[in-house]
Structure 1
Amino acid sequence: MQAFTPLEAGDPERVGPYRIVGRLGAGGMGRVYLARSPGGRATAVKVVHEELAEDPAFRARFGREVAAARRVTGPFTAPVVDADPDADLPWLATAHVPGVPLGTAVATHGVWPERSLRALGSGLAEALEAIHRVDVVHRDLKPSNVLLAPDGPRVIDFGISVAADDTKLTTTGAVVGSPGYLPPEQLVGRAVGPAGDVFALGALLAYAATGTGAFGGGPAHGVNYRVVHEDPDLTGLPGGLAEVVARCLAKDPLRRPGTLELVEELGRWEEADGTHGTFTRATWLPAPVAADLTALRAAPLPEEAAAAAPADPDLPTVTVGVAPTAVATARLGAPPQRASLAARLRRPALRRRTAVLAAAGTLVTLAVAAALLLPGAFSGSSGGSGAGSTGSPTAAAKQLAVQELWSREQEFNGRPVVADGKVVVEGGDGALHALDADSGDTEWTYDELGGGADLVGVSDGLVVAYDSSGTVHAVDLDSGDRAWSVGAGPHTAPGTDFNLYLRVVVAGGTVYVNAMYDLPEDDERYGTYAVSALDAATGRLNWTRPVEYGLSHALAVEDGVLYGGIREADGSYFHAWDAETGDPLWRYHAGTSRQYAGDLTAITVSDGTVYFGDSRNVLHAVDARRGTGLWTSELDVDTLKEWLEPLVVSGGVVYGGAGSPSSHYDSGVVSAVAADSGKPLRTERTERAPQLHGLLDGSALFSTEAGTLHAVDARTGASAQTRLSTGDPAAAVDGDRVYFDGGDGRLHAGRISLTST
């Protein structure tokens, strides 16, 4: 077992006096390398991204925060040992902790017992006390910033994320911090102090105790809304800890306990034999995690920096052999002089779009995914059958390859949309860009969106997007001219302020929105929601339905009916409304009061049945005319998974992907379920959350946020894969063409092929 990965072409050989020998990870601010000091000490060196280095405000604040962080001393922190804020690419070095990230440990081995939770909490509280003692606030405490070691947890990256405030990170609309761990005061723009870190500590304990977030999963804006407006779900926490965690997660920072109070309260943990616990050995950890640490510390560190050999420049394709885990990567065009801002800062939440366009009840971006037509897909014999089967790695009869057609430097956020020979992207500059799908040449740029773009999709020759003011724009796909725009004013009730859209759907000349609104500060409620319909041509409000408790981000239109999810006083409900009038047709009770309506994550309608998935592993089938439940089917997985769009129904089979609602770095699945009964037919496990794309030469295609494109034979289940990117490729597939982020700041176009071995 090792915590580092080999170096790649383009990685530095040295940073300051430190010799780089491996990769440890990456984040929104930079890449982290394993290094050796001149005296041979193992060190973690973080090098900030180039676009941040170009920002004078970031440099100045980075220097101040690093100076403060160097004053932090404590047994449960990884201290800063060196830094150069004035380097061409600013960097800092901390003591290397050969440990397992908390998120990895929970995802791999499951939830923790109370004894380990108390030990974890006391160590983290002591670390925060040391950090706060020198007037530093972490502001980004999350599972990946907690490393587990035999002698206690270690908090890393303290005091550094604050340097990103008031820089390009925030001006481009990114959130500094991680959904579910950011305190409510930070989300509403108020001052954040040490109590904000206590909130994150409570969220970490809830995650380790339950395997999911205290505020559910799904898109970042939905999680953030629940943090501000709703109570945490502490189901599954040991009784003795639930009250402590609840106090840490109080909305009012003044009501949260202090770090010394938490050290005293949690520090009385006991060993398994009942003796008072100490951090002198790994017995504070769950046994499987302790075993991983033993293996990790036994693994030798790399002796020399050995960058990955560059691919053969004459190799035209990205090819996988028979074994699906053996990946050969080809050169995908010359890298730009500097990586784009969007490529460096893109967050997983941006991948799973918060707005989806529907026309005649079908998502335009699902047109290709609807090619999953074979009834036997994911249910063949030679690849294994039944839920949980992953196929035979040696049974692959084909090689998967992507031959590059073109690439161009292009900052973009989210997934491209391909329609009528054009690739439309939401640029990092806040504009919409249309590129010729065959050549990559820019056809037009639409820069009239105020406050940045949020691309919805393409329908009837119109590109639809909205901006931060709530105005929805429709742009002619051929010319780039605006066809119409609809503002948020008509659906914003008096006494409220428009906040954001949870979902936008356009169908039949009507704009349907799930929206969230702010209330006056003196209002006892935190906020409110509404489902509304507006005439696209005139902007006139056709109808609106206020929602008191909570509103799902899932929304779909089919045959004159609008479908969506609402949280009510006694639980979560799936609703059907007349799309023209807004009159309620029926509602289906989807879950208890413990289940958030926002957890309804994917909807599709087929042959008189509505299928929708939630973030608690469950797929539902409901009669579209009467609203009566037909069946439910639960994924055969150990942790919570969120059903992802698209859901595709064909040949009597429902196909869908699912990923973790609490972490985009956890594994996912692609599942096939019998449409008439809900019987699981097959589950193909993936290294990260999957995105279905379609069927090519008898194999289903999907990509994952780990950067790979997969092909699964619909008859045998045999699989092949190839790497598209160093990160989430945000791939869009159109026939045998794929358009994706190569992880190098460029938009790539390639031709997919499957060839017999």
Structure 2
Amino acid sequence: MALRDSDPAEVGGYRIEDRLGSGGMGVVYLARSASGRRLAVKVVHGQYADDDEFRTRFRREVAAARQVSGAFTAPVVDADADAPRPWMATLYIPGEDLGTHVRRHGPLPPDRLRGLAAGLAEALRDIHRAGVVHRDLKPANVMLADDGPRVIDFGISRAAEAAGMDALTQTGRVMGTPPFMSPEQFASPQEVGPATDIFSLGAVLVYAATRRGPFDSPSPWETATRVVEGTPELTGVPADLLPFVRLCLEKHPKSRPGPDELLHLLREGRLPDPRPEPPVRQDPEPARPRRRRWWPAAVAATAVLAAVAATTVLARAGGSDPHDPHDLPAGWHTWHRQAADPTAGHPNAMGPSGPFSRCVLADRALVCAGDGIMAARFDLDDGRNVWTRPMDPTPAETSASGGGTIIGTRRGAVYAFGADSSDLRTGEEPQSRTRYTVQALDPDTGRTIWRTPVADTVDGIGPEYGGAVATPAGVIATYGDASDSYALLDAAHGKVRWQRDLPGGADSDCGLTGAGGQAYLICRDTDSKGDRERTVVTQLDPATGKARWQVTAKGLLSLLGETGGRLVLGADPVMEKLAGLTLIDASSHVLTTVRLSIPRNASGARLVRGTLYLTLTSGGVRAIDPRTGRELWQSNSTIEQPGPPTASATRLYLASPTGRLAALDLRTGKVTGTLPGRDESDNIGSGDTAAAPVLSGDALYVPYGLRSVYSVDIHDL
């Protein structure tokens, strides 16, 4: 994230290098000490510096963080609570927070989920042994480091022994994040003890496993009521962790185990189940919360009111937790915009002719590509088209440089393919020569951070057809003028760190793709007789490009995605009926095949949130369980030529190239809301499809028409 002119050059003698993020209470910077150590420096916003109570809380955060120094927390290096703008420096932990990771990549696979459970239990053991209660354990406060999770942000923690003496929790405020708070935090926050962190641990694990909390609701009132009295929704939590989660989510604090007991249960593999799992309700209405005798009704009602107030404060302070009601950027309103045409006036410019092919979130902005656009940025709140970069800034008369493809993102950068074409007049027929590049763009300004040539061809197929994968180390892309190899371009400078030949060279049918946070090379071939078709799946080590493992499957297959630690592959349903799926366990590499209950043709096949969705140009949608091949439901979305779907925790969203939108219930396929199209012009071709809608909090961003996007609050559908 780029630094701003108002940002300090140094804080406390530590040189500021970058912004890591900002929230309602302060800004976090990446800094470096004199010895070269990287630090995360949290600086409080100026408006809070004169608030004596806030300074007291900040001093307590520093003191609490200093007390905890386990392997699963971020140790404090330095701090000054008395500075004009208080600050605290902790050891920098590279990686995403759990909330961001799950929103971007989906639920964690079972093995990572179990590791997360153990790591957080160890972190809580260290925190509680230091006499501290965290009180705000949530996905945003869990960093996914390479060597395990780390718990951060002790902003509302306090000493366990000071429960009855803390004046700051006796002012009528409810502190915390409601979907991850414990029942006792709503009723009597002055009596909160270590058991409250155990309850939050259970809620965090449910979110990591399912991308939703166990008590989620659109209303803060109902969320608080569910936490206090309701039964947690645990559908999707792996069976071997269900007992662990249920123990954590016991309503009464004394019924919950401590961290040592949880670690013992994980090690021994014996997780007693405190009660049978409640049956899944078939009706769409939420279950009415059961009243427990230990919970006084008047206190519960007061707690719910306090939760509503606390949630409102969080929203006004700029909180971005995905569970906040009407989670929208500050100043957000519905909008629709068309990207500027960056090559307007060029003699060979074609002008807009269709919709974007992909849009992604990047540093609190929407960035889209396609139809000759390398990348275009729209502000999330008002849709302002801040910048637009063409795929080819000076297109040749015979240019065939492609439409523009976003490869992926990292903090402070968007990766995309670029091109520069020129006409060759050496023969009777004019030819086009194109130099293809991979570029890293600054999401704020569109400035090119680095540009690396990856191919130089004459009337050849560009490297975007071979695919590319964004990894923490950089971009793995097809490479060479003949696109006969693949290479890693490092994240910092785009330098080639390694290069390896593609199996079969330039004539191979190989592509790079990503799934489950890993990079894969998918190669398909047929023997000389044409009767033995196979697909070779190779997981790549980003550090070296070598194969971590390789599995060969029958048939010409495409990688549809990953769910539950298994890769899901299938034939192209456009070319032939999809009769079955091939599953590959990413840990054991065991290959299994699953027959579909009814073979299907489709215009698209997408794996979203663990379910395979087949779409038809007529608007038909079929949901299939990839583990069994069983059809879950079929529906008519009413959306013609639907593009790739997007899903929230409860609904599936489909859009047409003209901008018509439909929301379908994930469980039943019933259409629950629609919006009419916005572009019925003749420019939209019969073969066009738009990019998948992008969901950010409660805002849905829908690409459509001629390089256009509109936004909608999903609560209005």
| Common topology (TM > 0.5) | no
Higher relative contact order (CA 8 A, sep 6+): 1
Say which one has the larger Rg: 2
Shorter chain as normaliser: what TM range?
0.3 to 0.5
Normalising by structure 1, we get a TM-score of 0.41
